[in-house]
Copies of this chain bind each other. A is one copy, B any other.
């Protein structure tokens, strides 16, 4: 479905969005929290900075940051920047000319799914995903438990149940 690079990129940007207090977040910190290879994640995030979705800064106190408010970066942007938009446009059977004029046997069904997927990806912002992933002040049990999986360093706060 999505490539590993893409999944890592999405998880990392969610992490950065959730840590909005830090100006620049070091890639090493993201990699160790999310248990992703540091060097590999570096490549993925370089791609996101080259695509204009993130800013980076070298040296001590450096790292990466979102280039835009987290409310303005969508899942669609992230997928498009890493895996490309073909998942939102291509025929299920990979036939180059598939379209309304020359539909493939699965055309109508797949376009329906694909369009829904596109709408969802365009609407789902980093902001929304980061909130679900659990900032420290989110105390809902389910979300907190997820947060621990994605961000192991997050510790229970008073009132949160593990």
Which residues of A does B touch, CB under 8 Å?
A: 1-2, 4, 7, 10-11, 14, 75, 87, 90, 92-95, 97-98, 101-106, 109, 112-113, 116-117, 120, 124, 128-130, 132-133, 142-143, 145-146, 149-150
List 20 additional A-B contacts (Cβ < 8 Å) besides A2-B92, A104-B150, A113-B117.
A1-B92, A2-B93, A2-B94, A4-B94, A7-B94, A11-B93, A75-B106, A95-B149, A95-B150, A101-B145, A103-B132, A103-B142, A103-B146, A104-B132, A104-B146, A105-B129, A105-B130, A109-B120, A113-B113, A116-B116
Q: A92-B1, A117-B113 are in contact. Are A146 and B102 (CB under 8 A)?
A: yes
A95 contacts across to B, CB distance below 8 A: 149-150
Q: Which residue of B lies closest to A143 (CB)?
A: B103
Q: A93-B10, A95-B149 are in contact. Are A142 and B109 (CB under 8 A)?
A: no
Nearest CB of B to A122, in Å: 11
28 contacts across the A-B interface (CB closer than 8 A): A1-B1, A1-B87, A1-B90, A7-B93, A7-B94, A10-B93, A14-B105, A75-B106, A95-B150, A97-B149, A98-B146, A101-B145, A102-B142, A102-B145, A102-B149, A103-B132, A103-B142, A103-B143, A104-B150, A105-B129, A105-B133, A106-B124, A106-B129, A109-B124, A112-B120, A113-B117, A113-B120, A116-B116
